Amino acid sequence: MSNRAAQPERSRATLAVLAGGEGRRMGRPKGELVLHGRPILHLLLDTLQWPGPTLLVTAPGREHPPGWERFTAEVVDPQAGLGPLRGILTALEHSTSELVVVTAVDMPGVRSEQLDWLVDALGQRPQLNGLLIDRRSHVEPFPSVFRAAALTTIRKRFVAGERSVRGLLQETAFGSIAAPETWPADVWRNLNRPGDLKSEI
């Protein structure tokens, strides 16, 4: 699938970047990271060149990280420390788009190719409200894509105390799809500890 073919769908979808984590292992909130002398949020937006709305999802006490003003809107989880499923829920609660593509601030290797592919894959599966990526029998929570209709199920699970993004696969309207073998390993790199930044600075 070409980027040109995906462009109309991307322009109607919201890109949500989750940046509300405390970053305990990193020693600072990941939304404040600097890569190659630039705020990580600048790098992500410049790399992805998203044509539709963009949402930055943060948490109380971690609002307005460097680069927040470049997003269409910043939305804040009602409480800090509730995990990435809460971030997805917050994004869906504030998005006005039919589709929401979700990625994490600590995954700078994700490119528009992966997001285009996800949008297209969900479009081919009208029976699903959400799609995760299966990487060699390991399901990755991000990047992922959701329809607006996923909100009800995700909210219900969250209220019930379920916090796992992968746990959404227990619901019939959520599925996973194998990642193409041609994707570079860099796509899955997470910046979790200060040592992970050595090759990035």
Residue 4 CA to chain centroid, in angstroms? Answer: 22
Q: What angle do CA 175, 71, 16 make, to 5 degrees?
A: 10
Could you check whether the bond before residue 51 is cis, i.e. omega within 30 degrees of 0? Answer: no
pLDDT digits (tens, 9 = 90+) for 10-54: 778 999 999 987 756 666 778 888 888 899 999 999 999 999 999
pLDDT level of residue 2 (50, 70, 90 thresholds): very low
Q: Which of 5-9, 60-64, 111-115, 161-165 has the lowest mean pLDDT?
A: 5-9
- pTM for the whole structure: 0.91
Mean pLDDT of 86-108: 97
pLDDT digits (tens, 9 = 90+) for 61-94: 999 999 999 999 999 999 999 999 999 999 999 9
Q: Is the pLDDT of residue 194 over 70?
A: no
Residue 43 CA to chain centroid, in angstroms? Answer: 15
Q: Is 143 helix (H, G, I), strand (E, B) or coil?
A: strand
* Distance (Å, whole) CA 56 – CA 73: 6
pLDDT digits (tens, 9 = 90+) for 127-170: 999 999 999 879 999 999 999 999 999 999 999 999 999 999 99
Closest CA to 56 of 95, 29, 27: 95
What pLDDT is recorded for position 136?
A: 80
What pLDDT is recorded for position 142?
A: 97
Q: Is the pLDDT of residue 176 over 50?
A: yes
What pLDDT is recorded for position 5?
A: 45
Please answer whether residues 118 and 179 qualify as being in contact, where contact means their C-beta atoms are separated by less than 8 angstroms.
no
What pLDDT is recorded for position 37?
A: 86
Could you give the domains of the chain?
3-181 (3.90.550.10)
